[in-house]
Amino acid sequence: MITVVGTGTGAPPPEDVLGVAELVVGGRRHLDAAQLPSGAERVVLGPLAPALDRIEAYVAQRAPVVVLASGDPGFFGIVRVLAERFGAGLLDIRPGVSSVAAAFARAGLTWDDAVVVSAHGRELRTAVNVCRARAKVAVLTGPGAGPAELGAALLHGERVLVVASALGDPERERVERVTPREAAARDWGAAVSVVLCLDETRFPAGVRTVAGPGAGPAGWALDEGEFAHRDSMITKFEVRALALARLGPRLGDLVWDVGAGSGSVAVECARLGAAVVAVEKTGDGVERIRANAAAHGVDVQVVQGSAPGALSGLDDPDAVFVGGGGGDLAAVVAASARRARRTVVVALAALDRVPAAREALTGAGFSCDGVLLQSSRLAPLPGDVTRLAAANPVFLLWGVRPHEPDDIKGVAQ
């Protein structure tokens, strides 16, 4: 039997379990803090493979093994690896309080509405994008993905970071509220347990039934009347529906909406869980996008400027929607395609610009497809009759990168 004991957030390992252990595996600080039997072998966790091999040797002899881990070892912890190697039936799990639960408790907050994402041994970009998209996020940190790096990536917006270090250690535990800028300017050392990223202006209210960030939107491709726009200059819902299907926005993604206009595509991508940057050159357009984002309760970062120049300082996106570009459309599409990790979707009203946009996508190594969308909506006529009113046709092109870059999302479900 392998007994997995969660420790490190206040509860010492049970003596009855440790007292009979012949092999004890854990991090150095956990081993140093525990009262180990004099005859027990110690294995300090570093690379997992040698430790698993040593555990297997003891399991084969039916010798009792104890694995010490932080907090709740079944939550982004070692239980997954042990169960895959030895089977869940061989595990006796004694969970402690997870660092996430402890951090929210120290901050005086509930966390049934939080998203938890691990940046430990994973790309920081996913955690950053989740923090941009959601109001209450816990980030499990790691080397090169701590409070300083997280803060540097989150300078946009009004977020607060709660940095919890050495949780459960009565002498070293520290919980601090800082701005992203303050977090970016400090050396936090190796004792950080978890970072909470909070947008307190958007905390969900009311009684919860299902844990997590809340259900996604009941519908998408919203009617144009759901957005403030100028002179019907907005991506129509028929076009938006197919564009969203091809963009595939999801939690952990970053989407650019280039030539955003009213920001309808940006807002819809944010409603579906993605972090979004809207690029718009006009001042009144920028204010309109911000107003639409606020009206729908989502956070959209708005950058005022003309593409492709305005794209240079942005983080690489997973997907890009290009809804404007004028005479620079081919250059905008090419610049977007060079940076996009997965797909670029382009909406065009002018037939003359389709070949150049398609060439820009294929020239960047994307496979390219597209459709001409023509729709007619029901419209009333006098005499209580209805006619079909044709909308302007729109070309929708999409380019897909053949192989999406490897990315461990690490988002808690």
Taking the domains of the chain in order of start, what are their residue ranges?
2-97, 100-202, 224-400
Tens of pLDDT, residues 97-110: 899 999 999 999 99
Length of the chain: 413
> Domain spanning 224-400: which CATH class is it, in words?
alpha beta
**Helix ranges (DSSP H) in 154-247:** 180-184, 237-247
> Domain spanning 2-97: which CATH class is it, in words?
alpha beta
Question: Is the N-terminal amide bond of 393 cis, ω within 30° of 0?
Answer: no
Supply the DSSP symbol for 218. Answer: S
389: three-class secondary structure by DSSP: strand
Q: Between residues 241 and 7, which one has the greater pLDDT?
A: 241
Tens of pLDDT, residues 67-96: 998 889 998 889 999 999 999 999 999 988
DSSP annotation string for 78-125: THHHHHHHH-GGGEEEE----HHHHHHHHHT---TT-EEEE-TTS-HH
> Which pLDDT score, from 0 to 100, does residue 233 have?
82
DSSP annotation string for 120-145: TTS-HHHHHHHHHH-SEEEEE-BTTB
395 CB neighbour count, 10 Å cutoff: 19
Q: Which CATH code is given to the segment(s) 100-202?
A: 3.30.950.10
Copy the structure tokens of residue 218: 């009941």
Strand order in the sheet with 115-118: 115-118, 136-140, 192-198, 160-165, 174-178
- Cα distance between residue 81 and residue 79, in whole Å: 6
Position 10 confidence tier, pLDDT thresholds 50, 70, 90: low
Tens of pLDDT, residues 12-60: 667 777 888 899 998 888 888 788 888 889 899 888 899 999 999 999 9
- Cα distance between residue 142 and residue 195, in whole Å: 11
238: three-class secondary structure by DSSP: helix
Q: What pTM does this model have?
A: 0.86
> Which pLDDT score, from 0 to 100, does residue 205 have?
75
**Percent of the chain, pLDDT > 70?**
96
| Residue showing tokens 């009941």 | 218
Copy the structure tokens of residue 289: 């996008």
Copy the structure tokens of residue 127: 């955690």
Position 325 confidence tier, pLDDT thresholds 50, 70, 90: low
* Residues 6 or more apart whose Cβ sits within 8 Å of residue 93: 3, 4, 6, 73, 74, 79
Is residue 203's pLDDT more than 90? Answer: no
| Residue showing tokens 């595990």 | 91
Contact 339, 307 (CB under 8 A): no
Position 412 confidence tier, pLDDT thresholds 50, 70, 90: very low
The mean-pLDDT minimum among 53-57, 58-62, 125-129, 408-412 falls in 408-412
Copy the structure tokens of residue 193: 């347990």
Tens of pLDDT, residues 133-159: 999 999 999 888 999 999 999 998 789
**Percent of the chain, pLDDT > 90?**
66
> Which pLDDT score, from 0 to 100, does residue 198 have?
96
Q: Find residue 137's DSSP bridge partners.
A: 115, 197
CA distances to 5, 18, 79, 124, 217 from 102, in Å: 17, 24, 20, 22, 31
Is residue 413's pLDDT more than 60? Answer: no
CA distances to 44, 191, 194, 397 from 8, in Å: 15, 12, 13, 53
* Residues 6 or more apart whose Cβ sits within 8 Å of residue 326: none
> Which pLDDT score, from 0 to 100, does residue 29 have?
81
Contact 378, 388 (CB under 8 A): yes
Is residue 163's pLDDT more than 50? Answer: yes
- Cα distance between residue 71 and residue 68, in whole Å: 9
Q: Between residues 10 and 400, which one has the greater pLDDT?
A: 400
